[in-house]
Structure 1
């Protein structure tokens, strides 16, 4: 997972995303990259533990399993520069049902 992003509309690192499709590579099917991922649920909190963003791919979202946080909170307002913490639960489509879910925790720094 990336650990720094800059949502300033300069076209570079504008989203916190483990995989971002901007369409710049032609003849490549981006939907095949994150193989075997069935669903993703992520929560992002500020340093005080207040949730600023959440995403659940199982809720008929257009982005599917792709997380593209643009540095805005749930209400569409820009959040402040700083360190944010994420907790993601990823469900994989695998044969061993006991090993199909992984929890990923980390941090990301937002710079404007």
Structure 2
């Protein structure tokens, strides 16, 4: 169950980064709603990360949480915000994802 909480926490990290990106391009009330979404995703992400670290080693949990957030945010940047998707960026994102999966397999 802790692994599921950790993965959901990682996706919530992607959610709060996405909300920040959308708020950057918004004004007025719309920006406020995106910032509210940021705060909600941030709170849920932190609570779930805390719950996961009650069972999983902190180093492993934090590395996986940030890895999911970094990889997911970079992929969203490419797909939604039209950021560059050159070979080396995709290559290093792939190595990050492989490292996240590897940490899962070598953890108790």
Per the normalisation by structure 1, the TM-score is: 0.27
Per the normalisation by structure 2, the TM-score is: 0.28
More helix, by proportion:
2
More strand, by proportion:
1
